[in-house]
Amino acid sequence: MKAAELKNMSAAELKAKELELSENIFRMKFKLATGDIEDSSLIKKAKKDIARIQTILNEKSTEGK
């Protein structure tokens, strides 16, 4: 997901997306352990998306101050 797309989202939407990605990472780790996952790079991509979301949330919270 691109940062430009995330910047257009509200804080509530960003938090919901972050929660969704966290749950996906949790499921993918189980699939990785059992050998069911085909593309393990998706875990790394999801972690980067979470980092982007947290950065944008931090930017939005400092703008209000």
pLDDT band at 3 (very low <50, low <70, confident <90, very high): confident
Report pLDDT for 1. 78
User: DSSP readout, the chain?
Assistant: --HHHHHTS-HHHHHHHHHHHHHHHHHHHHHHHHT--S-THHHHHHHHHHHHHHHHHHHHHHHT-
Query: Which tens digit of pLDDT belongs to each residue from 9-26?
Result: 999 999 999 999 999 999
